[in-house]
Amino acid sequence: MSTSYEPRPEHKFTFGLWTVGNVGRDPFGEPVRPPISPVEIVHLLAEVGAYGVNLHDNDLVPIDATPAERDRIVRDFKRALEETGLKVPMATTNLFTDPVFKDGAFTSNDPAVRAYALQKTMQAMDLGVELGAETYVFWGGREGTESDATKNPVEAIKRMREALNFLCAYALDQGYALKFALEAKPNEPRGDIYLPTTGAMLGFIETLDHPEMVGVNPEVAHEQMAGLNFLHAVAQAWDAGKLFHIDLNDQNPGRYDQDFRFASHLWKQAFFLVKFLEDVGYEGPRHYDAHAYRTEDLDGVKDFARGCMRSYLILKEKARQFNEDPEIQALLAEINPPVQGIPDPGAPYTRAHAEALKAHAFDRRAIAARGLAYERLDQLVFDLLMGVR
């Protein structure tokens, strides 16, 4: 069957203004690309076939803009959205660039910073809702330490909870139907960042006043920086009903946050992630929080954006082939035998069932001797991904 890998709106591919707008600055070098305006970025994303565009407040409205300048900028941005049909599914706050946040925002030791961070976030929420955002992301890039002499970690978590409880209450008071999505990262730019993984965020959410409003926004590179299996983090979030958003990119483990083009490095992990999202019917945006190599010009930036979406669609087709491959499916059935001749390990507790489990004579050696054909199965996946199957 001829398969087009061309993005369509129903694929819900989105990019942040800061992604294709990345000018290529890094800790060891100045920008290599001229800045492009938010309006130009909207038209670029429309040209490459994206569904939507996301933003931090200051990606669109400079931090020192006057109210009149803000209104003009937002008006021009809205016009570009109308001209292109692009949506704004997600918004967030920049609580990490300005020097005022040098020691964090919500967890800063300075109450003036904590209060200013609330003010800035409420204003940014207002902007996001004005642009149609339904998900609001919180990435605490500066919420951390270089020395634990400086901050009591329990106090820091309490401050984070106070801020999120306040902002949940603000959204409810304003009648905003926003879903909050917390994004974890283990480190960078801080030596250690609080709530460093998606798992830590899932535990934290249950301590909030309105946990039903709050989910997670896992990012591929961030879980991989922590040496974790990204699919497993996403699966736990999905199981908990908390996969509110997702940041797709790629990463060579053991490096700084590389934010590579999606699936450009760890193909197999990207395949299993796409297969999972498609198999479970994830309906949220496929957001690419990534940027082009510093080597690229504007055409290279467009190649980057097209590649993110094309690679997802290629892996989506591979997932369909996996699900329809007779040998793979036969092997999966074989390695997942039905419950037969034993007390069901998945049955709910009853005293009788416990007695039956305790009394059953398991042939441990025979069970242990079973071969599982995982090598064959994994090779079939390799063959599939390499296009020889």
Catalytic residues: 56, 59
Q: Which residue reads 């339904």 in tokens? A: 134
Q: How many Å is the maximal CA-CA distance in the chain?
A: 79
Q: Which does 19 bind (CB under 5 to 8 A by kind): Mn ion, ligand DIG, none?
A: none
Q: Which residue reads 């918004």 in tokens? A: 91
Tell which residue, 65, 45, 309, has the closest CA to residue 74.
Answer: 65
Q: Phi/psi of residue 192, each to 5°?
A: -140, 135
Provide Rg for the chain, Cα atoms. 23
**CB of 105 within 8 A of CB of 114?**
yes
CB of 373 to ligand DIG, least distance (A): 39
CB of 294 to ligand DIG, least distance (A): 17
The contact set with Mn ion (CB under 5 A) reads 219, 221, 247, 257, 259, 289
Q: What gap in Å lies between CA 201 and CA 217, rounded to an integer?
A: 10
Nearer to Mn ion, 134 or 219 (CB): 219
Nearer to ligand DIG, 7 or 21 (CB): 21
> Which residue in the shown chain puts its C-beta closest to ligand DIG?
139
Q: Which does 59 bind (CB under 5 to 8 A by kind): ligand DIG, Mn ion, none?
A: none
Q: Which does 143 bind (CB under 5 to 8 A by kind): ligand DIG, Mn ion, none?
A: none
CB of 290 to Mn ion, least distance (A): 8
The contact set with ligand DIG (CB under 6 A) reads 16, 92, 137, 139, 183, 219, 247, 289
Q: Which does 92 bind (CB under 5 to 8 A by kind): Mn ion, ligand DIG, none?
A: ligand DIG
How far is residue 238 from each of residues 11, 202, 220, 234, 278, measured CA to CA in Å? Answer: 19, 11, 15, 6, 12
E strand or H helix at 286: strand 286-288
CB of 16 to ligand DIG, least distance (A): 6
> What residues have CB less than 8 Å from 204, skipping those under 6 apart?
157, 160, 161, 182, 195
Nearer to Mn ion, 185 or 275 (CB): 185
Nearer to Mn ion, 134 or 289 (CB): 289
Q: Which does 269 bind (CB under 5 to 8 A by kind): ligand DIG, Mn ion, none?
A: none
Nearer to ligand DIG, 16 or 38 (CB): 16
CB of 18 to ligand DIG, least distance (A): 6
CA 155 remoteness from chain centre: 27
Cβ burial, residue 340 (10 Å; 0-12/13-18/19+): exposed
